[in-house]
Each structure stands twice: as structure tokens, then as C-alpha cells.
Amino acid sequence: MANREYDYLIKLVIIGNSSVGKSSVLLRFSDDQFSESYLTTIGVDFRFKTLNIDGRKVKLQIWDTAGQERFRTITNAYYKGADGIVLVYDITNSTSFEDIERFWLNEVESYAEKDVELLLLGNKSDLSDQRQVETNMVSEYAEKKHMDFYETSAKTSDQIEQAFLSISKRLMSKKDAKLAEKKKRPTNSKKGTGSSSENSQKSSSTSANSTTNANNSQQPTQTNEKISLGSSSNQQTTKSNKLNLGCCQV
């Protein structure tokens, strides 16, 4: 890791209904820019952003997906391998929040990794006078779903960087935990190999004993077969004698 230009590489995917401001959120975070003109994302777009967190470099690869239904077969493929999913709704549009539960979380469960981290953003907080989705209600919902939650404004940049810092720190901790777990595996593997070797020796010893016992058990069996054959011969002779005696009587 020391030879790389970053210590962590994190893939994020931004999803949500069309017109909630996904592209504006990404543009504000990556380039610190905002445009009043609205351009629909066609398929997918992406940006890179490098952060310095606690003395470590974190490179974020952020994918912005189109919200329109006709692009969903394309965007579904980008869930695979994502470390985190950013779900965005518009606080002035209640349907955009309802679709988080009704549709977008189902997409995450269907296509994303099982342990993916989730971040919920209520965008356009600068339009609070047009609010349709209450903050307290969403906060309780996010807590139940184990998601970080922020109300953001791509226009004023309010809470944008804090939100991405939050999910980045959570993912850094997760990656550190996985790395620590991997480092423990060789030790456990060696122990397992040793016990396996011992078991193998025991198995070989048991097998040798079994072979010896099998050889010993075969000898009486052969003797019994000879005795049985002899007995059978005597029985045949006796029958023959009886027949001969019968002939003599006649």
C-alpha cells in the first residue's frame, strides 16, 4: 500500500429518483461546483475524489446513475462491487422519499453486496419552505435501517462533504477489520496443518493396524473353507454309499 498514491480505494454508487439532485450532489462534492441548469444523466457518470482522512489517503470512485426507469437495466450492473450506496431523495418531493423504501432498497438488496454500507441524503435543504418530508421522521427511519442520514444542499454545499466523510470513515474501519482478519488466517492455517498431520499419522497407524487385523482374520477363514469343503466331500461319499447299498438290496 505504501507504493500506491492512496491507502484506500472506495467505490460508491449514487441512486435515487430522477431530478432529486444526484448529479448536483456529486458535482458539488467532487469539483465544488453547482449549476442551475438541469442536465439529465444518460446511463452513468463517474468522478474521482481523493480525501486525506486521519493522515491516510482515501480515493473515492463515485458513480452517478440515471434515475429513469429505461436506464435501470444498465445501472443495475454498477451495484456489483460497490462498497457503499448513497440514496438521495428530494425533501420537497414526498414520492422521491417513498420510492427509497418502495423501490431503491429492493434494488440494493437484489444487486449490491450483502454487507454494503448505506448513506441516505435528503437533498435541496435550501428549499425548506417547500418541504414535504419531515426530518424527524426520516431520521428515525434511517436509524432503523442502520443508515447514516444527512439533509444536504448541493446549491449551498451544506452537509455535502460531512456526509461523504462519514461513509468514508465507516468503510475505512470495515476494510481495516477485514485486513486484520486476513492477517490472522495464516496462523490458524498452520495450526490446522499441524493437527491435520497428527491426524494423518494417527490415521496411517490405524490403517496399518486394520490391515494387520484383516490379514490375521483371513487365515481362520481359509481354514474354515477347507474344513467346509472336506465336510461336503464326506457328505457326498455317504450319499453314494447309501445308493450303492440300495442297489445291492435290489
Has residue 205 got a pLDDT over 70?
no
Higher pLDDT pick, 41 / 99: 99
Q: What is the pLDDT of residue 231?
A: 38
Give pLDDT tens digits for 57-92.
Answer: 999 999 998 755 545 566 678 888 999 999 999 999
CATH fold group of domain 8-178: Rossmann fold (3.40.50)
Cβ neighbours for 243, distance < 8 A, ≥ 6 positions apart: none
Most confident stretch, 131-140, 180-189, 236-245: 131-140
Could you give the CA distance from residue 64 to residue 24 in angstroms, rounded to a whole number? 10
Most confident stretch, 73-82, 183-192, 208-217: 73-82
Give pLDDT tens digits for 107-156.
Answer: 999 999 999 999 999 999 999 999 999 999 999 999 999 999 999 999 99
Specify which residues 88 forms β-bridges with: 121
H helices present in the chain, as ranges: 22-31, 72-75, 94-99, 105-111, 135-144, 160-249
Q: Which of 104-113, 204-213, 235-244 comes out lowest in average pLDDT?
A: 235-244
Sequence spans of domains, the chain: 8-178
Could you give the CA distance from residue 7 to residue 51 in angstroms, rounded to a whole number? 10
Determine the straight-line distance between the first and last CA of the chain, rounded to whole angstroms: 110
Q: What percent of the chain has pLDDT over 70?
A: 67
